[in-house]
Amino acid sequence: MREPFAITIDGPAASGKTSTAYQVAEALGFHHVDSGALYRAATAAALRANPAGNWNEPAVLVAARIVEMEARKASFCPLLAGEDAEGEIRGEAVTAKVSAIAKMSGVRDWVNAQVRDLADLHDVVVDGRDIGTVVLPNARVKVFLLAEARERARRRLLQRLGREGTDSELDEEAAKLAQRDALDAVQTVPAPDAIMLDTTDMSQAEQVRQIIDLARAAGASE
Ligand code: CDP
């Protein structure tokens, strides 16, 4: 049996990793694994267990036992206590706390083990921050997505509100992203062999196409 093929897509908050990774996986017949969704699911589980939010690592790991990955057509998605919780894990409360939870080394080990288990068995496109460096250093294709802060804020607001943000909304969102970038800076470093893609002026379709081309050139086939 041939070795499973892994593509990693890393980059800062709202650089378009998750939607791009999903579309690349769908086009190639791979599975998308969103490592950020696992950090978010652990955070949501910790918030359910203790809404006051003064957690320690063992308590988070116990709370995270309600998280399991469900295989869907082109992705693996985290369930909370057996149920879809997409709205909850993408919500403001989780976003505000997730970087603190992601600093816990036991939580990082827990996410990394799940990602590696899936990559051992399936062709995957994994998005995150440290996937090409720490989690899957032998991945066949590594991409690091960049985009200017204001453009990232614009995209995130469009996704959340379904319309363009006003100037003050853009300022507020850009400030929140900058804060999260600072908290996540340690683990958000491109692998030496990653291809850097600045998507500030690129359409979604174009960035998906470029990554598919890189994957095909590296031997991926549907
Ligand atoms: O999509 P967005 O950029 O908002 O973030 P995400 O990919 O959903 O990740 C949420 C949070 O999880 C990040 O802000 C990081 O704190 C953490 N994370 C991480 O530390 N390492 C990863 N490989 C992925 C996410």
Mutate to test the pocket of ligand 1, among 39, 77, 115, 143 (most ligand atoms within 8 A of CB): 39
**Residue 37: exposed, middle, or buried by beta-carbon count in 10 A (0-12, 13-18, 19+)?**
buried
Residue with CA nearest ligand 1 atom 13: 99
Same domain, 208 and 144: yes
Same domain, 69 and 146: no
Residue with CA nearest ligand 1 atom 18: 36
Q: Is the dihedral of CA 196, 199, 203, 205 positive or negative?
A: positive
Same domain, 180 and 101: no
What pLDDT is recorded for position 1?
Answer: 65
Tell me the CB-side half-sphere exposure of residue 182, using CA atoms within 13 A.
5
Same domain, 41 and 1: no
For the entire predicted model, the pTM comes to: 0.94
Q: Which of 50-54, 55-59, 153-157, 192-196 has the lowest mean pLDDT?
A: 50-54
d(CA 38, CA 81): 14
Q: Which atom of ligand 1 sits closest to the CA of residue 103?
A: 20
pLDDT tens per residue, range 21-76: 999 999 999 999 999 999 999 999 999 999 988 899 999 999 999 999 999 989 99
Kindly state the helix (H) or strand (E) to which residue 58 belongs, with its residue range: helix 57-63
Separation of 1 CA from ligand 1 center, angstroms? 33
Q: Using N-to-C axis directions, what is the helix angle for 17-28 and 204-217, rounded to 10°?
A: 50
Other CB atoms within 10 A of residue 79 CB: 15
